[in-house]
Chain A
Amino acid sequence: MLSRVADSLFWLGRYTERAENYARFIDVNFNLSLDLPPGIREQWAPLLLATGDNDLFLKLYKTVNRENAIRFLAFDERNPNSILSSITKSRENARIVRENISKETWEVLNDLYHYLKELVKKRVWKKEDPHSYFNEIKQQIQLLNGIAYDTAPRTQGWYFTKLGQFMERADKTSRILDVKYHFLLPSVEEVGSPLDYLHWAALLKSVSAFNAYRRVYGKIAPTTIVEYLVLNKYFPRSILFCLMNVESCLLEISEFKGRGYSNNAEKAIGNLRADLEYADISEVFDFGLHEYLDQLQIRLNDISSAIYEQYFKIQPNFVADSQSQSQS
């Protein structure tokens, strides 16, 4: 597979996953605001902080409120990570590799792009209840994933797309966990209160884990929620699950069958996956959850760079040519 094509497929996976996560986050935060007891104001700042784009937001908007936050996170093309920007880039990458993806996949993505453009035209962030739009966005992306699952041959291209998807998902789950760190409770006494409970439940819902979690642990409690979303081996949005998938995608791509690793990307992911696999939740809290997640995001970035070096980087043909001339 062409390095450039692999690169595009990787980002196609990443951007689509990013868009879907944002749609869920916004939707859940919006729903949370409906549940709040009287007198408690809805909070959008934690979500903005968790995405890492808060500085940009403050440059572009005067006040943090629902309308501005939704516009910025979903429909603002000045925000490189908004749903609109992600789907635009996702579609651009799909256009670059169109001969590599099925017609149906392309058409759903293309339609989604035009749908988002429509929503921007309608300025839907001003609507009282934007819930249905985010639901539609989510469903279109799930449709996209579903079609790809049933139409894509399991060759390199598939694994590069999945690789991007799971890298992105690991990062997003770590960020949404961090939202709780930024959520402000009115006072220390509120820890364990119904409001606190609401926050934690919302967190689970934002990664579609509410029911799955309850089947395992029953009670809503911070330690077990974090354990579930970081260290669970079976839940498709837990960080460990994502890392295990990143690793197996990389091994499918290199077709390496031995023990250990065959390149730097595999080495880095193997290390990180093992750290989580053998970790104990108390270690996470001892280290500090926020700090732990920060570390994790840094290591994910390192893995991204290693993947780039291994598979996507191409030699400029101008330089290569002058070298071959000097050799002759």
Chain B
Amino acid sequence: MLTENYEYKEHYDEMLDENGNCRPHYKAFREALDTFSNRKLQQLQYSTDKAQVSMGMTFNVYHDNKGVEKILHLDLVPRIISGSEWDILNRGLQQRITALNMFIQDIYNERKILKDKIIPSELVLSSSDYLEPCIGLTPPRGTWCHITGSDIVRDKSGKFFVLEDNLRCPSGVSYMLENREIIKQAFPNLFASMGVQPVSDYCGNLLSMLQSLSNEMQPNVVVLTPGMYNSAYFEHSYIAQQMGVELVTGQDLIVKDDYVYMQTTKGLEKVDVIYRRIDDTFIDPLVFNPDSMLGVPGIFDAYKKGNVALANAPGTGVADDKAVYAYVPRIIKYYLDEDPIIENVPTYLCSEEKDLKYVLENIEKLVVKETNAAGGYGMMIGPKATKEEHEKFRKKVKASPRKYIAQPTLSLSTVPTLSSKGVAPRHVDLRPYILFGENIKVIPGALTRVALVKGSLVVNSSQGGGSKDTWVLFD
């Protein structure tokens, strides 16, 4: 039997419990998996890789020369989440996004939460993601974070934690959708028998949400990409294609009299809603980064006047700041008077003296992160790092405490994954996608990122991680 020698003990394993018994929602799947030989699975894995290359699901790695394309390894074995587990995530994420959205609206307008001293003012206002041009703004319907891709992990007890909120331009949703297509073909009968909630209407939902941001009867929606050398370009074109809208770059757009137009073969055509996949500060060189060649001069004024909608709204990133993250449980309590359904990972703020002391003394046990970096960059995992790296980060933290936070090393949960020797447990996280339009919708599926190396906890695609299809079951 394929899963006979499956070692599960040290961490929370999503298939087997601490006594080695199969969890109920994994039973049917495990039985089916055991009917495959290792050889057969390796063959299926091979055709999966082929399918990805054929579909052009490739990305360019940052720092790499252009033209070098890699696929994000898709592990054949899906990760399964029961309906009742999903229910917790669904409610927890709705709650969290509601509160974070209220927070962003508040800090750019009345600043009640700062006046009530729930969060230190300077912590928010000193964030490099707090954008002054957004002060006094209320975007259409008061929604700031239209599209979110929260990173979620499970600790030793199996409890869910939000690790990062990713309110800016979360990527990976195309992998959630294409992975499903590929894995469904690899296990057609099994898939049909398990009762998996569909994800395929994501792009339809996304389009309706984007359209709802405009008052036009037939709003013209576009996706704005930095261009084909961006690592997520495949996703940008995929989303545009699935929604049936134009994929534009900054140079295709032009602002006249505070309206945004795209340049077509038949002249200028007005644009009403932009799903932008470029960072806040690159959107408009007249307002933000003057060197940006990716953005469109004048677009921010058009946005301020309400002539074009941007998703996500510029300025949203401030709630993504890792120092602000530490306050999210208090943010939820403040705006909703509820306790958080999904907890935060305990976080030490280096800007606070007591925490700073603890971090410097225990740096070898902690994960240290830059407050405004993403993608696994600018971070140090204490237990895996060398003495020199510990010392380097001690210096960095001391020099600019506001720029760093620290968290205890988490033991991520494990799920069955194909290795060269058969099926073995590997660490994973979970990135579900949440759309905020007329209401908040958590898509019943996710990008599961997996650390392919035995024992490794780094799941980032830029650092050698892979992905999995995620099956959320009907209960």
Contact = CB atoms under 8 A, between A and B. Distances in A.
Given A92-B228, A111-B54, A317 B265 contact: no
Interface string B236-258: 01101100111111111111110
Contacts of B54: 107, 110-111
Interface residues of A, number: 28
B399 interface: no
Given A98-B237, A99-B241, A317-B297, A3 B264 contact: yes
Contacts of A321: 254-255, 286, 297-298
B191 interface: no
A182 interface: no
Interface residues of B, number: 34
Contacts of A320: 254, 256
Nearest to B244: A99
B55 A2 contact: no
A45 to B, nearest CB: 32
Contacts of B286: 321
B53 interface: yes
A207 to B, nearest CB: 31
Interface stretch (A61-69, A283-291, A308-316): A308-316
Contacts of A6: 265
Contact of A95 (B228, B248, B253, B255): B228
Nearest to A6: B265
B257 A317 contact: no
A162 to B, nearest CB: 15
A253 interface: yes
Q: Is the interface of B mostly helix, strand, loop or mixed?
A: mixed
A156 interface: yes
A316 B293 CA distance: 11
B233 interface: yes
Interface string A1-27: 111111000000000000000000000
B241 to A, nearest CB: 4
B17 to A, nearest CB: 42
Given A92-B228, A253-B265, A4 B251 contact: yes
Interface in A302-328: 311, 314-318, 320-321, 324
Contact of A2 (B233, B241, B257, B263): B263
B262 interface: yes
A156 B257 CA distance: 29
B296 interface: yes
A166 interface: no
Contacts of B252: 2-4, 314
Nearest to A255: B266
Given A2-B246, A99-B241, A111-B54, A324 B256 contact: yes
A320 B299 CA distance: 13
B376 interface: no
Contact of B265 (A98, A311, A315): A311
Contacts of B256: 320, 324
B228 A315 contact: no
Given A99-B247, A314-B252, 5 more contacts: A4-B249, A5-B246, A106-B56, A315-B263, A320-B254
Interface of B: 53-56, 228, 233, 237-238, 240-241, 244-257, 262-266, 285-286, 296-298
